[in-house]
Amino acid sequence: MYNLLVVDDEKYAVHGVTRGIDWTDLPIGGIYEAMDVEEAMAAFAAQRIDLLISDIEMPGLNGLELQRWVLEHSPHTETIFLTGHANFAYAQQAIQLGGFDYVLKPVDHDHLKEVAAKALQKLAKGRELLEFQEAYRTYSVHWQSQLPMLVERFWQDLLGGRVPLAPERLQRLFRLYDMPLAPDSAVVPVLISVEEWQEELSARDEDIMEYALRKAAAELVLDDWPGCVVSERGGYSLALVYAPAGEAELRSRCLRFVADCRRYFRCRLSCYIGPAGMPAGLAETVADLLAMERGNVGRTNEVHLLREYAAAEGDPPAAPVAADWTPLLEAGKKAELLVRLNAALDRMQTTGVRAETLEAFYYALHHTASQLALKKGLSARDMIPAELHDFPAATRSLSQLRSWALRFAAAAADAIGGSGKDVSAVIARTMQLIRERLHTNVSREQIAAEVYLNPAYLSRLFKKETGLSLSDYMLVQRMELAKRLLKESNLKISGIAEAVGYDHFSHFAKMFKRVAGVSPHDYRKTYRDV
C-alpha cells in the first residue's frame, strides 16, 4: 500500500481531492493533508509519502520549492502538480524538476484519479525493481562467500568423473565459478599426503589440523599463483596451480611447505608434483600421483616429481624370518624383543624397502603374536589395543611400521609373557556376554545383573583385570566387528551400524572414526581398493 499527501493553501481544494475522490479501489493506505509547504515537510518527516499532489502557486514557499526539497529528502516520491491556465509555464518547470505529471485547475476528479493510478503503477514497478536489486545483492554476497566451497566441489566432481569434459561445458563452468581457466589451460597438480602425525590427535583435532594444512598450502605453495587447494577422500589434499609454474620454483615452495609443516604442525608429509596438463586429463594424472604415493614407503617427508618416478622391479620380498621373535615374546622379554625388531627394521632401511616388504613384516609379527596368544588361550584382538590392528596405517611408511611394531610387540609381550594369570571367570563371562550382544544397545546394568554383581563393582573389577573400562571394551568390540563386516560383507554401512548396536548412523560414524581414524566409507574403500 502507498501513502498520499495533498498540499494546497485552499482548504476546500484539499478536501475536494482527499474526500471528493473515491480512492478505495487504488492501493492507497493513508491519505494526508497539508495547507502549506511547512506542513508538507512535517508530513514527510512523520511517515513515508509515496504520492504527492501539490498546488504550484501558494503563499510563501511554493510547490516548485517543495519539489526541490522532495528530490533531496524523499527521491522515491512521485509528484502530480496542480496549476491554473495562467501558470502553465510553472507546469513545464515542474516537469523539468522530476514531476510525474500536471493537472489543470479546476480539477477534473476522474482525470486526476487516472493520472494518480498511472503514478502508482510506476511506483509499483520501481518497488519491484528495488526489491529485485536488494535480493540480487543479498544472493550475490552469499554466492561470493560460498564460491571457494563451490570451486572445491567442482574439482572434486571432476576428479570423481561427475563433470562432463566437453570443452564448451567446461568453459561454462569456469565462467560460472569465476575461474581464470579455459579447457586447454595448463593445470599443475600437487598431491599432499600426511604420512604421520607426531602427536596423538582425536578425530576432531585431526580434521582441524588437516584444514590448517590446506590453508598453509594455499599460502606457501600457491602464494601469488592462481589456484586452489582441494580436500579429497582418502586423507589427502590436492593443490592445483592454474598458471604454468616453473618446476624449480614449485619444488622450492613445496620443500618449504614440508619443512614448515613438520616444524609447526608436528607432522610428516610429502608432496607429489605432477606434470602440467589440461583439466580434462587431471583425474588420470592424480591417479598416477596416488599410485606413486602408495608405492613410496621409504622416502618420506620429501618432495617427489612424477616424471622421476619409476616403479621398483623384482619379485616381492619373502616374509622376514620371525623364529627368533617367538621365544622372546613368549618369555615376556620385551626389551630384547624391541632391540631385535629395531635391528630388522634398520636392515630394511639400508637394503631398500617396498610396500610388499612392510606388509610381510606386519603379517609376520602379527601372526607370531596371534599364534602364541592362541596357545595360551588368549585372543589377540582382546590383548592388543584396537588401534594396533589398523593394517593400512601401520604399513603406510617405514617410520609408521616401526612405531606400530614397537607398540604392538610391547603390548603383546606384556599380555603373553606376563604373570600368566587369566581373567577371572566372572570377567570372562562378562566379555562373552558383551561379544554376544554387540547388535543390541546393552547397558552396564544389564550385564551386571547377568553376572550377579553391583554395576559399579563390576566396572572397577573389569578395569582392574583388563585395563579397560566396560564402555571402552564394548566400543572396541563393536568397532572390531564393524571393521570385519566392512571388509568381508556387502552390507550397507547403515546396516552395519545396526548390526553393532547403533540406532543412529551419525553416532556410529563418529565413534568409528574416533577408533579407526577414518570414516566407515573410507575404511571399506581402502580394503576394496587393495
Domain-wise residue ranges, the chain: 2-128, 167-307, 325-416, 426-460+467-529
For 113, the grid coordinates are 484519479
Residues of the chain where predicted confidence (pLDDT) is lower than 50 = 310-319, 419-422
Beta strand pairing status for 78-83 and 303-305? unpaired
The pLDDT, as a whole number, for residue 398 is 78
The pLDDT, as a whole number, for residue 145 is 77
- Per residue, what are the HEC states of 267-279? EEEEEEECCCECH
For 27, the grid coordinates are 492501493
The pLDDT, as a whole number, for residue 119 is 93
Q: What is the pTM of this model?
A: 0.45
The pLDDT, as a whole number, for residue 318 is 44
For residue 361, with 0-12 CB atoms within 10 Å meaning exposed, 13-18 middle and 19 or more buried, which class applies? buried
The pLDDT, as a whole number, for residue 313 is 41
The pLDDT, as a whole number, for residue 39 is 94
Q: Is the distance from CB of 202 to CB of 514 less than 8 angstroms?
A: yes
How large is the C-alpha radius of gyration of the chain?
A: 39
Q: Is the distance from CB of 365 to CB of 322 less than 8 angstroms?
A: yes
Cell 517543495, residue? Answer: 66
CATH entry 3.30.70.1400 includes domain 426-460+467-529: no
CATH class of the domain defined by 167-307: alpha beta
The CATH number corresponding to 2-128 among 3.30.70.60, 3.40.50.300, 3.40.50.2300, 3.40.250.10 equals 3.40.50.2300
The pLDDT, as a whole number, for residue 303 is 93
N-to-C CA span, the chain? 69
Indicate if the alpha-carbon torsion angle 249, 251, 256, 260 is positive or negative: positive
